[in-house]
Amino acid sequence: MKLNDEEQAMLNGELGEPRRWAIEHMMRVGRFFDAPDFVEVTQAHIMADTESLGEAGVEFLERMAACPEHERRVRIPMITDPRGIDFCHYKRLRQTDAMAALEQRTIDAFEALGIMMTNTCINYQTIMPPVRGEHLAFGDTGVVIYCNSVLGAYSNFEGGPSSLAAGLTGRTPRYGLHLDRNRRATKRFRVTCQPQYLSDWGALGGIVGARAGSYWEVPVIEGIEASPGSDEMKHMGAAMASFGSVPLFHLVGVTPEAPTLEAVCDPAALAAATIGETDFAAFFARYGGKGEKVDVVVFSAPQLSLLEMQSLAALLDGKKLHQDTDLLAVTSPVVAADARRMGFVERIEASGALVLEGMCFYQSYAREMGEANGWKRLLTNSAKLANIIGGYGYEPTLSNMKNCVASAIAGEIV
Amino acid sequence: MATIKLKCHVGVGPEVSGEALVTDDNFSARYDLDRIKGIFSRPQHKLAGKSYVDKIMVFNTAKGGVASAWMLYEMKSRGVAPKAILFNSVNPILAQGAALADMAMCDRFADGDVTQLIRSGDRVTVNPEQGLVTITRDRTETGR
């Protein structure tokens, strides 16, 4: 890879050990993906839940945090993905003190590095939405696909170590989605059935993601008649990335790089596959459970926006949850503060539900929580969560928010 | 003994040798493994119940989210990890994870589907720096 003088100085260790490690790490990755050089980035966002970090990962961060301040501080604004613990509620969730202690060590290390503890996977709705053409180093696949697709920004999926390296150096290897040639559509889909609820948008994302099936494919979708808002795009993108590892999609007439189909592909050379009513029905049908007892209803992955919190409060007004069913609503610290001020949190919790902030259900020791609380049948309106959570021993069902709430009140899936 | 040389893209990590464990299935560090025991634990996975410790693993592609970038490092720190992982095509997350862990990883093989070219039990040497994988196999097993 071609290095400028500053990058060479980092590699020589002249700017300290953390930046030497960072530039060397990124050169290894850059060489793997044929990056000719580095591209400067304006923001970094890191996913580093303690469940995946483990003791070794936390120690790695602590070693870096013990370096001299001028060597260890990140160079660009850098923020965090959800944590695994909400310190106000972890005992009620039956998470352990050991989990909380590891979480606190991670937070201390991040703060020593100058990272802002935003603890959110909806930073594009709440912190600082990127602009078109902005190069970024974002973690969390849902964040990356939204910023690439809906905002027209440029980011690869950056795992925790690579995000950290980008924060320390202010750059990332120029490969993948930083190059315009990799942003052209390679798969084409035509929708003949219009999504209605957020869970339908998630289902569409899941169907497209599963059929695209690779980081290196870019789906383009035609036939959407509605004008989807940010929450619709959020659920669709998160599911597409989850089901297919897909980092970018185009929605003709909606997303900025695809004002027309011709702008992203040669229509004559790319045949369209149809997605219709039967595809949606089959998608929902794979998650059975109708009529069964529901143990826990979870709204999470991605964290809820203020608008979703408002909708949930309205659905729960004056209602009580079934005594054998729990309901968790997970949001960001920013949204939680607003939702509390506006009375949404109080209205949601009056039903017996619990509002959690700064975490995300599936990266919070979900298996241990499920075993400790006796949660098996899980109901959600998030297609992403339905996809992931089976791997943690749950039996998931996917439905819209209204049905999820009605089921939590009835104690069984309606 | 017969040796077969496979050319691939330049990878990451050190040169290593070991016994191959091959599947045409995909790989997720987060969902497919019992990382404490060092075995494939997801019942639907084609290698369910098998140990991956010190093996040269061969898969079609990688799955799973951003979090898995930390996991190879964590696995290697406890000594319960594969020696190398080979793919037809890998995503950035796992390549980044291998770079952190200093674990051998290669993909994009010139001669076709690597899950067919290498067989479980083959003795394999992976040289990521040169983008070269060498298979050593009993002559009788090659059919010659």
Judge: A161–B66 Cβ closer than 8 Å, yes or no: no
Which residue carries 């989850």 as its tokens?
Answer: A242
Q: Which whole number is the average pLDDT over A317-332?
A: 98
Interior/surface letters A220-236, b for 16+ CB within 10 angstroms, e for the rest: bbbbbeeebeebbbbbb
Q: How do residues A184-198 score in pLDDT, each as one tens digit?
A: 999 999 999 999 999
Q: Look at residues A180, A207, A234 and tell me which one is the last residue of a structural domain.
A: A180
Is the pLDDT at B144 greater than 60, yes or no? no
Residue A131: exposed, middle, or buried by beta-carbon count in 10 A (0-12, 13-18, 19+)? exposed
What pLDDT score does B30 carry? Answer: 81
Nearest residue in chain B measured CA to CA from A172: B96
| Whether residue A275 is found in the same domain as residue A360 | no
Q: How far apart are CA A36 and CA A15, in angstroms?
A: 23
Domain closes at, from A136, A165, A180: A180
User: What ipTM goes with this model?
Assistant: 0.94
Q: Is the pLDDT of residue A286 over 60?
A: yes
The answer to whether residue A230 is domain-embedded is: yes
- H/E run at residue A16: none
Q: Suggest the residue from B33, B40, B70 to mutate for an interface test with chain A (most A CBs closer than 10 A).
A: B70
Number of domains in chain A: 3
Q: Do A158 and B96 touch (CB under 8 A)?
A: yes
Q: Give the B-side interface with A, CB within 8 Å.
A: 9-12, 30-31, 42, 61-71, 73-74, 77-78, 89, 91-93, 95-97, 99-100, 105
Of B10, B74, B93, the CB nearest to A157: B93
* Residues in A touching B103 (Cβ below 8 Å): none
Chain B neighbours among A 309-328 (CB < 8 Å)? none
Check if A12 contacts B (Cβ < 8 Å).
no
Query: What are the b/e assignments for A179-207, b being 16+ CB within 10 Å?
Result: eeeebbbebbbbbebebebbbbbbbbbbb
Pairing outcome for strands B2-7 and A354-357: unpaired
- Find the angle CA(B89)-CA(B91)-CA(B96) to the nearest 5 degrees: 120
What confidence category does residue A112 fall into, taking pLDDT thresholds of 50, 70 and 90? very high
Beta strands in chain B (DSSP E): 2-7, 16-22, 33-34, 39-40, 56-61, 84-89, 104-106, 123-127, 132-137
Fold of B2-142: Glucose Oxidase; domain 1 (3.50.30)
Chain A with chain B: Cβ pairs closer than 8 A = 107
Q: B12–A245: do the CB atoms touch at under 8 Å? A: no
d(CA B39, CA B61): 18
A120-151 tens-digit pLDDT: 999 999 999 999 999 999 999 999 999 999 99
Residue A233 lies in a domain: yes
How far away is chain A from the Cα of B8, in angstroms, using its nearest Cα? 11
- For residues A142 and A93, the answer to whether their CB atoms sit within 8 Å is no
Contact A141 B69 (CB under 8 A): no
Q: What's the pLDDT band for B7 if we cut at 50, 70, 90? A: very high
Q: Does A64 touch chain B (CB under 8 A)?
A: no
Is B67's CB within 8 Å of A52's CB? yes
**Nearest Cα residue in chain B from A54:** B74
Is A161's CB within 8 Å of B100's CB?
yes
- Rounded CA-CA distance A276/A241 in Å is 21
d(CA B72, CA B29): 8
- Residues A153, A33, single domain; the answer is yes
Residue A168 is assigned to a structural domain of this protein: yes
> CATH number for the domain including A351?
3.30.499.10
Same domain, A132 and A208: no
- pLDDT tens for B56-104 read 999 999 887 777 889 999 999 999 999 999 999 999 999 999 999 999 9
- Residue A262, pLDDT above cutoff 80: yes
Q: Are residues A120 and A51 in the same domain?
A: yes
Asked whether residue A30 falls in the same domain as residue A149, the answer is yes
A246, with CB counted inside 10 A (0-12, 13-18, 19+), is: buried
A18 CB burial (10 A radius; 0-12, 13-18, 19+): buried
What is the phi/psi pair of residue B17, to 5°?
A: -130, 150
Is the CB of B70 less than 8 angstroms away from the CB of A54? yes
What average pLDDT score do residues A337-352 get?
98
Residue A226: which pLDDT band, with cuts at 50, 70 and 90?
A: confident
- Boundary of a domain, candidates A153, A180, A207: A180
Nearest one of A66, A127, A108, A40 to A333, comparing CA atoms: A127
CA distances from B122 to B55, B58, B96 (A): 11, 11, 27
Query: Min CA distance, B137 vs chain A (Å)?
Result: 28
Kindly state whether residues A41 and A143 are assigned to the same domain: yes
Q: Which residues of A touch B97 (CB under 8 A)?
A: 159, 161
pLDDT tens per residue, range A63-108: 999 999 999 999 999 999 999 999 999 999 999 999 999 999 999 9
Partner residue facing B96 (CB), from A52, A54, A159: A159
Residue A63 lies in a domain: yes
Question: Is residue B15 a contact partner of residue B128, using CB atoms and an 8 Å limit?
Answer: yes
Q: Which two tokens stand for residue B54?
A: 């010190």
Q: Are residues A101 and A138 in the same domain?
A: yes
Query: A57 and B97 in contact by Cβ < 8 A?
Result: no
Distance from CA of B135 to the nearest CA of A (A): 22
Of A25, A51, A141, the CB nearest to B66: A141
| Alpha helices (H) along A73-140 | 97-112, 123-126
pLDDT exceeds 50 at position B136: yes
Task: Confirm whether A226 is domain-assigned.
Answer: yes
In the prediction, which pLDDT does B44 show?
85
H helices present in chain B, as ranges:
71-77, 92-101, 114-117, 139-142
Q: Is residue A291 part of a domain?
A: no
Is beta strand B123-127 parallel, antiparallel or unpaired with respect to A354-357?
Answer: unpaired
A253 domain residue, yes or no: yes
Mind giving me the DSSP string for A223-241?
Answer: ---S---HHHHHHHHHHHH
Q: What is the pLDDT of residues A58-67, one digit of tens each?
A: 999 999 999 9
Strands (E), A195-309: 219-222, 250-251, 272-275, 296-304
CA atoms of A414 and A333, how far apart (whole Å):
32
Do A204 and A345 share a domain, yes or no?
A: no
Angle of CA points A28, A33, A35, to nearest 5°: 80
Closest CA to A300 of A383, A371, A405, A373: A383
CB pair distance less than 8 Å for B63 and A245: yes
Q: Do residue A28 and residue B12 have CB atoms under 8 angstroms apart?
A: yes
Mean per-residue pLDDT for B119-129?
A: 97
Give the count of beta carbons closer than 10 Å to the beta carbon of residue A263.
14
Residues A11 and A51 reside in one and the same domain: yes
| β-bridge mates for residue A412, sequence order | A293
Do residues A31 and A173 share a domain?
A: yes
Name residue B123's beta-bridge partners.
B19, B136
| Confidence label for A390 from pLDDT (cuts 50, 70 and 90) | confident
pLDDT of residue B140: 61
C-alpha distance from B7 to closest chain A C-alpha (Å): 14
- Judge if A117 and A254 occupy the same domain: no
Chain A residues lying within 8 Å of B30, measured CB to CB: 52, 391
| A159·B66 Cβ contact <8 A | yes
Contact A62, A109 (CB under 8 A): yes
Q: Mean pLDDT across chain A, nearest whole number?
A: 97
| Residues of chain B with C-beta less than 8 angstroms from the C-beta of A33 | 92, 95
| Residue A45 in this model has a pLDDT that exceeds 90 | yes
Tens of pLDDT along A351-383?
999 999 999 999 999 999 999 999 999 999 999
Is A204 within a domain?
yes
Cα(A91)–Cα(A75) distance, rounded to whole angstroms?
36
B143 has a pLDDT exceeding 70: no
- Hey, are the CB atoms on A52 and B9 less than 8 Å from each other? no
Given an 8 Å threshold on Cβ–Cβ distance, is B91 in contact with A49? no
Residue type, A156: N
Are B65 and A242 inside 8 Å of each other by CB?
Answer: yes
Q: What would the two tokens of residue A98 be?
A: 């050991």
Q: Which domain holds residue A335?
A: 296-410
Q: How many helices (H) and strands (E) does chain A have?
A: 17, 14
d(CA A205, CA A227): 16
CB atoms within 10 A of CB A269: 7
Is pLDDT above 50 for A300? yes
